Amino acid sequence: MADTKTGVGASVRRKEDLRFITGKGNYTDDINLKDQTYAYFLRSPHAHATIKSINTAKAKKMPGVVGIFVGEDVANDKLGGLICGWGITSKDGSGMKAGPHPVLAQGKVRYVGDHVAVVIAETKEQARTAAQAIVVSYGVLPHVVDAAKAMKSKVQVHEVASDNRVFNWSLGNEEATNAAFKNAAHVTKLDIINNRLIPNAMEPRAAIGSYDTGTESYTLYTTSQNPHVARLVISAFHGLAPEHKLRVIAPDVGGGFGSKIFIYAEEVVCVWASKHIGGRPIKWTGDRSEAFLADAHGRDHVTKAELAMDASGKITGMRVHTIAALGAYLSTFSAAVPTYLYGTLMSGQYDIPNIYVEVDAVYTNTAPVDAYRGAGRPEATYVVERLVETAARELKQDPAEFRRRSFVKSFPHQTPVIMCYDAGDYGAALDKALEMSDYKNFAKRKAESAKNGKLRGVGFSAYIEACGIAPSAAVGSLGAGVGLWESAEVRVNPIGTVEILTGSHSHGQGHETTFAQLVVEKLGVDINSVSIVHGDTDKVQMGMGTYGSRSGAVGMHAISKALDKIEAKAKRVAAAVMESSVDDVEFKNGTFTVKGTDKKMAFGEVALQAYLGHKFNSSEIEIGLKETAFHDPANFVFPAGVHICEVEVDVDTGLTKIVDYTAVDDFGNLINPMIVEGQVQGGVAQGIGQALLEGAVYDEDSGQLLTGSFMDYNMPRAANMPSIENFRLGFTCTPCPTNPMGMKGCGEAGAIAAPPAVINAITNAIGVREIAMPATPLTVWTAMQANKKAAE
């Protein structure tokens, strides 16, 4: 190891934090361009309506108005609509039914918050005031907001989908699975709702679009997790400009959780409209209310799940049917989430010979639904872990031991649902979690709680997820419209400092620190001599961005490859300068030595020589020290672990408190344990949010979003978390065999693992089979009342 304090494996303090916590971050809204104007989006107040007419005459004359654009202007200019970049084929072989998704509504609005018009003015206030003067005549239509009702509804959200069904997708062997159920000795059945969530990154979305009339090129500053993908889509599908005439910059971004992967109407409109107002830049900064209404939401599944077991209690089959709401339009990756990111994880950590999953994706008159922290894997884990827990209880087996008996125990393990698990030791994580949580004394703690009028319960979640998405050929064959590699460039400056240009994008993950640690490890340079450059398509040549916990396993792997090339090149330079053979040059701790001699050169000296070119033949060795690499992963990576949650439920009020939480995770080798712990804690907080607090509610009658602010949408607070001494984190390690760092992904695990752990604990505490998320005091109290009645 080059440097134990700042190399791989060290808990280095985050280099970026000083900047962020002292208010020196540079976010999109902090950027102001010369002659900038401001955009305000007029949004649909209706869940579903035709637009009969839009009159902007009066609004156009309002003070400060620079321009007003509506759907017709977009259509006349032939600006393409928003796309879904993943095509799903239905069971019957038909294609996905994608309705049109214009950036400004054309003839129809389909959810409350849909974009109807944009007003551009000298100030934000003027734009908003003028928008109120636009007269839109709507023909209000009936709507459907409930996923479970969409296919039976008379309402038709898109013409292409008569029963509102986007696709009917299946995975696994139906016949064999049905046979397993026929022969089963015991079947466990559950009806499961995975509640709709609203991401709520701390920084709302924002964009500045500008057009340079001189160079005839566009620049877009935007809150994106993947600026290159934004450039690709806006060029190739919206047809705004070829890629070399469009620069996309995603500066500091204040959290994404998936919601900033997607290409949104607002950013496309801002960059498009700039040309139509003579090239003046247009800034749009969403407010929190707009974030609630128009950011892509997450989850929203209605599922029927069954588990079959033989007489010995061995799991023989799983059958799942899910209705997944995708909202009013197909967002950028929406179709992939309830399919290949969901059905493929149904085997969990278990050896299940037969699995069949069928998914009906439906349109509803709600905000689009797409990837949100975990994206499909939390939904899958919730199904698997609720089923397994319930089965264990029905078979009167200890839930820990039932899991252990059912675990996959040898690797690689091919599941019946595509995934091939490469490495793991699920029993080790279970042992550690049982030990850390003092499971054997749970009964004592339960009795103690009972004395205080509290019902104590314990719940398990043995999750697995697939991240580091993904082998390009594999995802291509499954419908992805892009390859999911990553690229990196390493620029060594003549004085030996290092710039890493990466296609990964940091919006809270701490890449400026962890990526630098890899450079320290490999080149032996000081961590302060390394800078990480990302988020600008003019600087970084290519990239697929950050989501699905891929920046470590895929992004760092690309950097690692480029660093290997740097080392190889530097060795050739060093050999020439030290007049020896390349084979005799060794590189360790930042120093090149020649075997059997006392000759040596520091990394910085070699870098300088590489640029001077005085001491080698530049026709044999190219001047300079700069390398590029693309990395396409060989497989997903498979983080897994066991989380154990203990709750106390107040009998009188139904209030649930998480009194104890143990998370044991196997992320392979850790680059920066402190950052990993933060990711787990944050992920668990989000998972607790889903289980206890958060839930987007659309009113059935009006189609309005009832949870449109923090007054009604309950984000997790510190007080909802277990106390820090009862929030235990542990790690096990089976290194990942498909990347040189042996690492897996850690960014989503907490959000994936926590919801079933919490709900299993609550159902255990109050003695019910099922309870809906979020398990609010009202929900829990109501379940206890029903239970009481049933017992009477």
Partner 1 sequence: MENFNYHRPATTTAAAALMKKGKDAKYMAGGHTLLPTMKQGLAAPTDIIDLTAIKNFSGIKVSKTSVSIKAGTTHMEVATSKEIKKAIPALAEMAGKIGGVHVRHKGTIGGSVANADPAADYPSACLGLGATIETNKRKIEADKFFTGMFATALKDGEIITAVHFPIPKKSAHQKFPNPASRYALTGVFVSQDAKGKVRVGVTGAAATAFRATDIEAALSKDFSAKSATSVKIASKSLMTDMHATAAYRANLISVLAGRAVAAAK
Residue 30: CB atoms within 10 A of its CB come to 13
**Shortest distance in whole angstroms from residue 650 CB to partner 1:** 9
- In the complex with partner 1, the residue whose CB is nearer, 376 or 703, is 703
**Shortest distance in whole angstroms from residue 137 CB to partner 1:** 21
258: left (phi over 0), alpha (psi -120 to 50) or beta: left
Could you tell me which residues come within 8 angstroms of residue 210 by beta carbon, excluding any fewer than 6 positions away? 33, 218, 219, 220, 271, 274, 279, 280, 281, 282
Cβ distance 156 to 735 under 8 Å? no
Cβ distance 666 to 407 under 8 Å? no
**Shortest distance in whole angstroms from residue 125 CB to partner 1:** 8
Alpha carbons 239 and 79: distance in angstroms, whole number: 6
Tokens (6 digits) for 160: 């292409």
- Quick one: CA dihedral 615, 620, 622, 627, positive or negative? negative
SS3 649: strand
- In the complex with partner 1, the residue whose CB is nearer, 638 or 713, is 713
Tell me the CA distances in angstroms from 355 to 192, 308, 311, 639, 641, one per residue in order: 18, 10, 19, 21, 22
- In the complex with partner 1, the residue whose CB is nearer, 487 or 707, is 707
Per DSSP, helices labelled H in 255-299 are 265-276, 288-294
State the residues that interact with partner 1 by CB under 8 A: 289, 652-655, 693, 697, 706-707, 710-714, 776-778, 781-782, 785
- In the complex with partner 1, the residue whose CB is nearer, 31 or 697, is 697
- In the complex with partner 1, the residue whose CB is nearer, 612 or 778, is 778
As a dihedral over the C-alpha atoms of residue 470, residue 476, residue 478, residue 480, rounded to 10 degrees, the angle is 80
**Shortest distance in whole angstroms from residue 785 CB to partner 1:** 8
Alpha carbons 778 and 41: distance in angstroms, whole number: 37
**Type and span of the H or E element at 173:** none
**Shortest distance in whole angstroms from residue 38 CB to partner 1:** 15
**Shortest distance in whole angstroms from residue 129 CB to partner 1:** 8
- In the complex with partner 1, the residue whose CB is nearer, 1 or 450, is 450
**Shortest distance in whole angstroms from residue 647 CB to partner 1:** 15
- In the complex with partner 1, the residue whose CB is nearer, 30 or 652, is 652
Q: Which residues pair with 369 in a beta bridge?
A: 297
Cβ distance 196 to 391 under 8 Å? no
**Shortest distance in whole angstroms from residue 706 CB to partner 1:** 6
Cβ distance 335 to 361 under 8 Å? yes
- In the complex with partner 1, the residue whose CB is nearer, 141 or 773, is 773
**Shortest distance in whole angstroms from residue 746 CB to partner 1:** 29
- In the complex with partner 1, the residue whose CB is nearer, 140 or 778, is 778
Which residue, among 417, 543, 537, has the nearest Cα to 485 in the 3D structure? 543
